[in-house]
């Protein structure tokens, strides 16, 4: 497999309406790794994911996927390129059953939908048990698993995950981080935003610290956790 980045942002400016959030932001994701974006509220972490996924159009700079510019591509086309996205909130269809949620995750597939859904039921037995249940009846942790599974139906090689532990009890959050690692073991590279920086970096290969829309620190996750300045400014250490 090539060592070239699977996903790369170079000098990206982006934002909402006239409000700029990202300012000359550059980062990359290599194949099969987990990269965690941390930083204070409003640093632009989620904006990075939304810009990659086409929910926001970059004002400047490039977003490339396997070397191809995807900046400004519509989300429904980005999915077809091979990138999945798990939003922080409202990440399942509440009124649809678990099975229907998974089928909606595979609308862009050319075939093999039943096989993939079967594999996901094997991987996440709790979804198999509740395949007929409406998503609104699931617990927070179960919903998060369903949200991952929905995004995995397309068998993406990049998965963008926005704050997977948000609003979850500590034990449930640990389970969810375990699922993130399990997804990564499927050779899926993961770019993850996480408010709980210690936990997020704890399961990641590398990390970026964003502040005011710009990358302030980057490096191996373990090094960032040990970095005194990062710890003091961003990890509450």
Partner 1 sequence: MVLAEHLANGLIFSSIIVLGSIGLSLVYSIADFANFAHGDTMTVGAYSAFVAFGLVGGLGGSVLGLPFGFFVALLVGIAVAAVVAVVTEKVVYEPLDIDSIGLLITSIGVAFIYRALIQMRFGADFTRFGIQPLRPIEWLIPYGIRITKHDVAIVVSAAVLVGGLHLLLQHSDLGRKMRAMADNPDLARVSGIRTDRIKLWTWLIGAGLAGAGGVFLGLYNQLSPRMGFNLLLIIFAAVILGGIGSVYGAMLGGFLIGMINQLTPVLSELGALLPLVPDEFGIPVGIEYANAIAFVIMVAVLLVRPNGIAGEAT
Q: Which stretch binds partner 1 (CB under 8 A): 71-79, 124-132, 167-175, 192-200?
A: 71-79
Query: Using CB under 8 A as the criterion, what x/- string covers residues 129-148 for binding partner 1?
Result: -------x------------
Query: What is d(CA 232, CA 234) in angstroms, rounded to the nearest whole number?
Result: 6
Q: Which of 5, 61, 105, 200 binds partner 1 (CB under 8 A)?
A: 105
Query: In this structure, how many other beta carbons lie within 10 angstroms of the beta carbon of residue 22?
Result: 29
Using the minimum distance from each CB to partner 1, give the nearer residue, 111 or 236. Answer: 111
Q: How far is the CB of 47 from partner 1 (least distance, A)?
A: 15
Q: For 53-194, where are the alpha helices, taking DSSP H only?
A: 75-81, 98-105, 113-123, 125-129, 140-152, 170-184
Q: Which of 4, 69, 104, 187 binds partner 1 (CB under 8 A)?
A: 104
Query: What is d(CA 23, CA 25) in angstroms, rounded to the nearest whole number?
Result: 5
Compute CA 132 distance to the chain's CA centroid, rounded to the nearest angstrom: 26
Cβ–Cβ < 8 Å for 6, 29: yes
Residues numbered 205 to 234 that lie near partner 1 (CB under 8 A) are none
Q: Which of 45, 130, 143, 150 binds partner 1 (CB under 8 A)?
A: 150
Query: What is d(CA 68, CA 77) in angstroms, rounded to the nearest whole number?
Result: 13
Interacting residue ranges for partner 1, rule: CB under 8 A: 53, 55, 74-76, 79-80, 85, 87, 90-96, 100, 103-105, 107-108, 136, 150, 154
């Amino acid at each position: 497999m090539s060592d070239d980045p699977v996903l790369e942002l170079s000098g990206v400016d982006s934002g909402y309406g006239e409000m700029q959030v990202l300012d000359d932001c550059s980062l990359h994701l290599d194949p099969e790794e987990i990269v965690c974006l941390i930083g204070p509220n409003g640093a632009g972490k989620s904006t990075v994911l939304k810009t990659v996924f086409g929910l926001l159009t970059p004002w400047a700079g490039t977003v490339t996927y396997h070397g191809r510019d995807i900046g400004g591509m519509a989300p429904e086309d980005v999915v077809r390129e091979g990138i999945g996205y798990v939003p922080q909130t409202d990440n399942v269809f509440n009124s649809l059953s678990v099975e229907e949620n998974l089928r909606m995750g595979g609308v862009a597939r050319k075939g093999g939908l039943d096989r993939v859904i079967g594999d996901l039921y094997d991987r996440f037995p709790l979804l198999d048990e509740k395949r007929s249940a409406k998503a609104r009846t699931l617990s927070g942790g179960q919903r998060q698993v369903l949200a991952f599974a929905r995004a995995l139906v397309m068998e993406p090689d990049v998965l963008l995950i926005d704050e997977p532990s948000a609003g979850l009890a500590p034990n449930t959050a640990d389970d969810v981080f375990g699922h993130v690692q399990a997804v990564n073991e499927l050779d899926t590279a993961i770019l993850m935003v996480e408010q709980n920086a210690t936990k997020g970096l704890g399961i990641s290969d590398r990390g970026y610290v964003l502040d005011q829309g710009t990358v302030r620190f980057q490096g191996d996750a373990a090094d960032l956790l040990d970095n005194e300045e990062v710890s003091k400014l961003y990890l509450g250490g």
